[in-house]
Amino acid sequence: MTVTASHPAVTPSHPSAPSARAVITTLLGATLLIKACGFAYDFLGYYIGEAHGTTAAGAALTVFGVGWCAGQLASGAVTDRLGARTACSIGLLLAAGACAGLAAAGTLQTLLLLSFFLGCTMDVSRPAVSAEINDRLTSEGARTRAQGWMYWVSNVGVSLSGGVGGYLAHQHGYRALFVANGVACAAAAVLARRVLTGRPAPARAERAHRSSAQMLSDTPLRWMVGAAIGTMVCAYGLVSVLPLVMNDDGLPPSAYGTAMIANTVAVLVLSPPLTRFLVGRDDRVRYPVAPVLAAGSLILGAAMGLAAVQHTTLGYSTAAVAMVPGEVCYCVATGAYLATAAPPGAIGRYQAALSGAGAIASLTPLGIAFALDTGGRILVAGLLAASAALAALACVPLSRSLRTSLTPRTAAEQVQSQH
């Protein structure tokens, strides 16, 4: 999974505090650590499926998705009101506890409860990191570039987790993976505690609070989230659909690991040239956000449709590689949107809204399993293609709303310039 190019240019916010470059680089490193060791989600289905069956595994993944939705909303609000350090440190320590619980639990009821709890806490750092980027960087180009780096390290980490974890699970078992995941979350919590401030930046705290009702009335945000859900149904197919169809073929976890490694290599090789094509030297996206997002949606839909009808490790690996251009488009588009359209004082919640789109997309395993049982591979491929097509269609009103409305950030900057 993917994106962006050169290192973010930053400006220090306080002479006595760590520079913005140091803080953001540390946060990106912590994000990579969390994602690369995120074995709990990647192998939750395998772990529960072996002991309790496929239906229980699908239920656990769906419960995880419900928790993910709730966790993103909560972490976005905590980030905006109490600061990134509080959101990251508390959330990641709770995630470490959930991973430890998974390693020790045995009953299905306990595993389902822990799956929900893990979903609530595993991705709490994303809104906080996004808010720090937009708070600490002054130029739109630097924000866009850093947001792209956040998506890039996240996606590389997810691919590494699936690839390496497939082989480690074969050698050491799933419980060892959960323990490693918990240790990584605890280490990331310590890093966040050391480099982040305890409260939102003063400049941010002075800005007007943006209520949830105002967010819901933001037309571009609504269309952006709608398009993101349809796109992420396909993008998260890499960690939700692929294990189901590969298991249906009788392929071992190591085969899934091979496909994920192929995706990782493709990300590393293809991301720089594709990002240079989409992003200019001034770090601004060369093309409007909506068409870039629509292109990414259609590419991801085609790639996952291809994956649904494969039966060999080579075929699945090829489909995983074909996803990469679509992931780059999605990451560039969402990074540019957050950098330019998220209003001051609500960046955490805007990031949470987009992350929540991924959480909603993660609720599909039960539906995909049902489609696989009732209609076979062709039905699964058709549903994924339809999701991508709907996402691309949502980009039409998104484009119109972005053209006709003044972005919240632009409006705020104009107000500030008048004082």
pLDDT 10s digits, 21-35: 888 888 888 889 999
Are 233 and 366 within 8 A, CB to CB? no
Kindly tell me if the per-residue pLDDT of 52 is higher than 50.
yes
| pTM of the model as a whole | 0.73
H helix runs in 105-139, sequence order: 108-121, 125-136
pLDDT digits (tens, 9 = 90+) for 54-102: 778 778 888 888 888 888 878 877 887 788 888 888 989 999 999 999 9
pLDDT of residue 237: 84
pLDDT of residue 188: 92
pLDDT digits (tens, 9 = 90+) for 95-132: 999 999 999 987 899 999 999 999 899 888 888 887 78
- Bridge partner list, 285: 279
The share of the chain scoring above pLDDT 70, in percent, equals 85
Structure tokens at 277: 């094509």
| Overall fold of domain 20-200+212-414 | Growth Hormone; Chain: A; (1.20.1250)
pLDDT of residue 412: 47
Domain spans in the chain, listed from the N-terminal domain onward: 20-200+212-414
CA distance linking residue 88 with residue 231, whole number of Å:
27
pLDDT digits (tens, 9 = 90+) for 363-393: 777 787 788 888 889 998 999 999 999 999 9
CA distance linking residue 265 with residue 340, whole number of Å:
30
Q: Which of 27-31, 186-190, 277-281, 406-410 has the highest mean pLDDT?
A: 186-190
